[in-house]
């Protein structure tokens, strides 16, 4: 067996995307044992119980600014490579993989709508066929997930995650209220989920159940029992896809949202393209998507 260090300094959603890619890589390279370097504990949580990864290491510095190619190429990549060399000071690893999927090609793709989307560039950098691979997650729920589900006992549960660090993706309070009303008028029990830091963004006009700070395993378990997911283009949308929520409605600010849609084996992923839908028409667009068979 040989040892390989995979350095993946990207966000939670990108780590979810990597799980399927890594499964294919390991199928092609069964002789390699993988150690993984990730940015933070939240990214590490994605890899809990994953048999493909032997050790999960935390990166001891801030994320390199991939989205600023000049800073990355002339400054941050050298610091990152110095840290990676330190991980391999004793020549533990025979191979080091360092995918940098959010540099200039990603910006060019996003602005010009041309070139290769980062998912396919990730496959290329990992040396596998460029095609979508289903996510590979092994996160386990705790007893608190069953307790929450018992309180929400309903045949029609709809989960919303309207928050985003990108203000262009985030749904405003009025949009959320309209979507909640549409769902509730159709007999859905609604639940807004988010991180503990997002709890303060709940608006007083939202008449709904909420759950913040759930572990990712518990969140997946709740999503598995829901009929609808509505949210911004974010990590929770990827988890909803993995959980095979029957109908997943993604509010996407991407130029080509079809390239960014989460991968679901059995769920139906529908897109509400924000760039093409005026704010005054988004509630009606959501209603139409909800009624799509």
100 and 188, same structural domain?
no
pLDDT for residue 101:
85
**Residue 137 located in a structural domain:** no
Tokens of 282: 């988004």
What's the confidence (pLDDT) of residue 203? Answer: 93
Q: Are residues 99 and 156 in the same domain?
A: no
In this structure, what token pair is assigned to residue 228? 């609808």
Quote the percentage of the chain above a pLDDT of 70.
96
pLDDT of 99:
93
**How many angstroms separate the Cα of 180 from the Cα of each of 195, 206, 237, 283?**
19, 8, 17, 10
Instruction: Please state the φ and ψ torsions of residue 39, each to the nearest 5 degrees.
Output: -75, -40
Residues 159 and 223 in one domain: yes
CA atoms of 84 and 100, how far apart (whole Å): 14
pLDDT at res. 225 = 96
Residues 203 and 115 occupy one common structural domain:
no
Please check the confidence at residue 257 and state whether its pLDDT lies above 70: no
> Is the same domain home to 107 and 223?
no
Question: What pLDDT score does 267 carry?
Answer: 95
Q: What is the mean pLDDT of residues 1-17?
A: 94
Task: Say if 14 falls within a structural domain.
Answer: yes
User: With bands split at pLDDT 50, 70 and 90, how would you rate the model's confidence at 221?
Assistant: very high
For residue 242, pLDDT over 80 is answered with yes
Question: Of 94, 126, 158, which residue is a domain's last?
Answer: 126
Looking at residue 119, what is its pLDDT?
Answer: 82
What span, in angstroms and rounded, lies between the C-alpha atoms of 81 and 65? 14
- Please report the pLDDT score of residue 167 as a whole number: 74
The answer to whether residue 74 sits within a structural domain is yes
On whether both 182 and 231 belong to a single domain, the answer is yes
Q: Is the pLDDT of residue 230 over 90?
A: yes
Domain that holds residue 285: 143-291
What string of DSSP letters covers the chain? -EEEEEE----HHHHHHHHHHHHHHHHH-TTEEEEEEESSHHHHHHTTT-TTEEEEEE-SSPPP-TTSHHHIIIIIHHHHHHHHHHHTTT---SEEE---TTSHHHHHHHHHS-S--HHHHHHHHHTS-SS-----------HHHHHHHHHT--SSEEEEE---SSTTTSPPHHHHHHHHHHHHHTTPEEEEEE-GGGGGG--TT--SEEEES--HHHHHHHHHT-SEEEEESSHHHHHHHHTT-SEEEEEE-SSSHHHHPPP-SSSEEEEEEGGGS-GGGHHHHHHHHHH--
Q: What is the pLDDT of residues 260-285, one digit of tens each?
A: 788 899 999 999 988 889 999 999 99
Rg (CA), the chain: 20
Looking at the structure of the chain, the number of domains it has is 2
Tell the residue number behind the tokens 């909803």, with chain if given.
Answer: 240
Same structural domain for residues 209 and 266? yes
Residue 7 falls within a domain, yes or no? Answer: yes
CATH code where residue 89 lies: 3.40.50
Instruction: Identify the pLDDT of residue 153.
Output: 78
Structural domain contains residue 43? yes
9 and 109 share one domain? yes
Band (pLDDT 50/70/90 cuts) for residue 69 is: confident
pLDDT 10s digits, 85-136: 999 999 999 999 999 888 877 777 667 666 667 888 899 999 999 988 999 9
Higher pLDDT among residues 112 and 49, named by residue: 49
List the CATH number of the domain containing 214. Answer: 3.40.50.2000
164 lies in the same domain as 44: no
Query: How far lies 148's CA from each of 84, 95, 145, 168, 206, in Å?
Result: 42, 45, 5, 31, 19
pLDDT tens, position by position, 18-41: 999 999 999 999 999 999 999 999
Residue ending a domain, choose from 95, 126, 157? 126
CB 57 within 8 A of CB 25: no
Report yes or no on 188 lying in a domain: yes
Q: Is residue 134 part of a domain?
A: no
- Separation between Cα atoms, residue 273 and residue 113, nearest integer Å: 15
Q: Does residue 117 sit in the same domain as residue 168?
A: no
Name 55's bridge partners.
35
* Six-digit token string for 293: 């068979």
Q: What percent of the chain lies above the pLDDT cut of 90?
A: 75
- Quick one: angle between helices 235-242 and 216-224, nearest 10? 50
Kindly list the distances between the CA atom of residue 236 and the CA atoms of 3, 100, 101, 192, in Å, as whole numbers in the listed order: 32, 23, 20, 11
Residue 175: inside a domain = yes
- Are 97 and 182 found together in one domain? no
**Looking at the predicted structure, is the pLDDT value of residue 256 above 80?**
no
When the pLDDT of each residue in the chain is averaged and rounded to a whole number, the result is 91
> Considering the entire predicted model, what is its pTM?
0.91
> Would you tell me how many other CB atoms lie within 10 Å of the CB of residue 117?
18
Q: Of 72, 95, 126, which one is at a domain's C-terminal end? A: 126
Task: Answer yes or no: do 105 and 205 share one domain.
Answer: no
Is the predicted pLDDT of residue 162 greater than 90, yes or no?
A: yes
């Amino acid at each position: 067996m040989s040892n390989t260090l995979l350095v993946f300094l990207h966000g939670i959603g990108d780590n979810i995307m990597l799980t399927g890619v890594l499964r294919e890589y390991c199928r092609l390279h069964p002789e390699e044992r993988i150690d993984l370097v990730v940015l933070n504990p939240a990214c590490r949580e994605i890899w809990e119980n994953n048999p493909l990864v032997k050790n999960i290491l935390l990166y001891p510095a801030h994320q390199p600014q991939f989205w600023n190619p000049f800073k990355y190429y002339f400054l941050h990549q050298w610091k990152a490579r110095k840290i990676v060399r330190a991980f391999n000071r004793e020549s533990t690893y025979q191979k080091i993989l360092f995918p940098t999927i959010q540099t200039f090609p990603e910006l060019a793709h996003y602005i010009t709508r041309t070139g290769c989307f980062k998912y396919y560039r990730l496959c290329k950098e990992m040396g596998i066929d460029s095609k979508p691979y289903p996510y590979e997650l092994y996160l386990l729920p705790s007893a608190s997930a069953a307790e929450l589900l018992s309180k929400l006992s309903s045949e029609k549960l709809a989960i919303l995650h309207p928050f985003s660090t990108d203000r262009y993706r985030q749904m405003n309070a009025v949009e959320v209220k309209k979507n909640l009303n549409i769902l509730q008028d159709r007999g859905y029990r609604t639940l807004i989920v988010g991180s503990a830091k997002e709890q303060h963004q709940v608006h007083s006009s939202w008449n709904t159940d909420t759950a913040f700070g759930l572990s990712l395993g518990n969140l997946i378990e709740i999503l598995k029992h829901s009929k609808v997911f509505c949210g911004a283009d974010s990590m929770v949308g990827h988890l909803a896809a993995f959980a095979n929520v029957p109908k997943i409605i993604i509010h996407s600010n991407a130029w080509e949202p079809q390239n960014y849609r989460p991968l679901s084996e059995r769920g139906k992923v529908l897109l509400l393209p924000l760039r093409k839908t005026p704010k005054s028409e988004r509630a009606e667009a959501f209603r139409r998507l909800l009624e799509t068979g």
